[in-house]
């Protein structure tokens, strides 16, 4: 359902080519971020925003920047991204989260693409992302450079991956684009814990549908392996105390995900036995 009509005109081409880029942003209750993220992609030919029943001022603020603001019931991140992509009119899609910003270097790289022949471009570009966490820019812990497929040819793209971390993919060649996203992630540990709880529920539901079984020993080995991988192998110790916290949260998220798989599997088994009896 389209919510607003408050048009902001975008030039068909800012840099002299017919490369039309649509920026997509999926949101819910992002009144603190929506203005800044719209400003950071104001160079795009259009901005498409897809909300899912926000209860704050997200929609009101979004309507100041684009007439393409939609409400779409949340059925998973893949579904929401696919809906957003379907609302675009550009040949290329640039997707960005509400808590991310485009660096001047990244913007310049996109500007340079507009000067190239679209037929000679690859189908997608991956972009590095630098994350700020607990007041520190994270350089290790597996969080950097954290390449993301964020600019892609619409006709060659599709969404794939394991919930809740689905990502855009393309059928053809992929190149790395110079520049970075700046990711202003969880503001505090409470928010991190809340998001972790939400994401592990989605991941567990996906694994249960795939009939994943969880031996008790996995609840010990897999979280421990995640901590070692994050803190030692990926040198999280070089990120100071935030690196230690990231490693512990990573291990905890693995534990919670598989504990929820075990719990949901047990509930399904009990329900099945109840119906049989």
Mean pLDDT of each 10-residue bin along the chain, 277 residues long: 46 56 97 98 97 97 97 94 97 97 97 90 97 97 96 96 89 96 94 95 92 93 98 98 98 97 87 72
Distance between CA atoms of residues 158 and 167, nearest Å: 8
- C-alpha–C-alpha distance, residues 263 and 26, integer Å: 30
d(CA 192, CA 185): 9
All domains of the chain, ordered by start, with CATH? 21-184 (3.90.550.10), 189-276 (no CATH)
Rounded-to-integer distance, Cα 255 and Cα 159, Å: 27
pTM reported for the whole predicted model: 0.86
Instruction: Calculate ∠ Cα 129-131-135, nearest 5°.
Output: 160
Whether 50 and 26 have beta carbons less than 8 Å apart is answered as yes
CA distance 182 to 32: 16
Compute the distance between CA of residue 184 and CA of residue 104 in angstroms, rounded to an integer: 16
pLDDT at residue 10 in the model: 40
Measured distance CA(261)–CA(255) in Å, rounded: 10
pLDDT value of position 12: 38
Residues in the chain: 277
Structure confidence at residue 6 (pLDDT): 43
C-alpha angle with apex 174: 170 to 180, nearest 5 degrees? 110
């Amino acid at each position: 359902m389209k919510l607003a009509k408050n048009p902001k005109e975008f030039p068909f081409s800012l840099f002299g080519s017919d490369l039309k880029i649509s920026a997509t942003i999926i949101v819910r209750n992002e009144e603190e971020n929506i203005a800044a993220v719209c400003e950071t992609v104001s160079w795009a030919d259009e901005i498409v925003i897809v909300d899912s029943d926000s209860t704050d001022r997200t929609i009101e603020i979004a309507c100041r920047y684009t007439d393409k603001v939609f409400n779409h019931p949340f059925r998973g991140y893949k579904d929401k991204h696919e809906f957003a992509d379907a609302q675009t009119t550009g040949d290329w899609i640039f997707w960005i989260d509400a808590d991310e910003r485009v660096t001047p270097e990244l913007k310049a790289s996109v500007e340079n693409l507009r000067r190239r022949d679209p037929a000679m471009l690859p189908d997608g570009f991956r972009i590095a992302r630098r994350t700020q966490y607990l007041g520190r820019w994270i350089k290790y812990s597996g969080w950097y450079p954290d390449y993301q497929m964020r600019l892609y040819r619409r006709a060659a793209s599709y969404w794939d991956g394991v919930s809740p971390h689905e990502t855009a993919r393309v059928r053809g060649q992929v190149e790395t684009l110079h520049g970075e996203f700046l990711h202003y992630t969880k503001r505090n540990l409470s928010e991190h814990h809340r998001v972790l709880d939400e994401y592990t529920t989605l991941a567990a539901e996906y694994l249960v549908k795939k009939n994943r079984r969880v031996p008790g020993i996995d609840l010990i080995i897999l979280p421990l392996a995640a901590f070692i991988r994050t803190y030692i192998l990926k040198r999280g110790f070089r990120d100071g105390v935030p690196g230690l916290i990231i490693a512990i949260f990573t291990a905890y998220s693995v534990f919670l995900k598989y504990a929820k798989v075990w719990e949901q599997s047990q509930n399904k088994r009990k329900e099945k036995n109840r119906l049989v009896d």
